[in-house]
Amino acid sequence: MKSNQMALDCALPIEERIGRLALAWIRGGRDGSQLVTGKAFFAVYSWHLRHWTDHDITWAEYTAASFHGIGGSDGWNAMLRERVICVSCGDTYRLENIGLCTGCMRYACYDCGAHASCTGEIV
Ligand SMILES: [Zn+2]
Ligand SMILES: [Zn+2]
């Protein structure tokens, strides 16, 4: 499975997805093709920013390599200006002003908050 698909696959809790991605990346010789991009990167990086103290160095390394892969802070800032839609209220937000539900991997604005039907958190 491609890294982006794996990161966005709701079958596993997000921490387990990131753990597997990081491990596969290390085992594959830190190959750039195994890094995450786009929405998958947004999910991994946002989750990492909230939980970076909880997990090991491998995850931080994987996130840092992916950050570099999308173009570093320039790429990240460009991504934050992209517009996405909150599934609950249908309003459009810039990525910097909206969260992502790690349960269903859909966007959720901070007014709407967590999805009642999801076990994930908003990152
Ligand atoms: Zn909303
Ligand atoms: Zn959800």
- Length of the chain, in residues: 123
Find the 89 Cα to ligand 1 centroid distance in Å.
4
pLDDT digits (tens, 9 = 90+) for 2-25: 999 999 999 999 999 999 999 999
Find the 31 Cα to ligand 2 centroid distance in Å.
31
Neighbours of ion ligand 1 (CB under 5 A): 86, 88-89, 109, 112
Rounded mean pLDDT, 81-89:
97
Residue spans of the domains in the chain: they are 3-79
User: CA-based angle 93:94:96, to the nearest 5?
Assistant: 120
**What is the pLDDT at residue 51?**
87
pLDDT band at 1 (very low <50, low <70, confident <90, very high): low
Find the 103 Cα to ligand 2 centroid distance in Å.
5
Find the 14 Cα to ligand 1 centroid distance in Å.
22
Find the 88 Cα to ligand 1 centroid distance in Å.
5
Find the 107 Cα to ligand 1 centroid distance in Å.
8
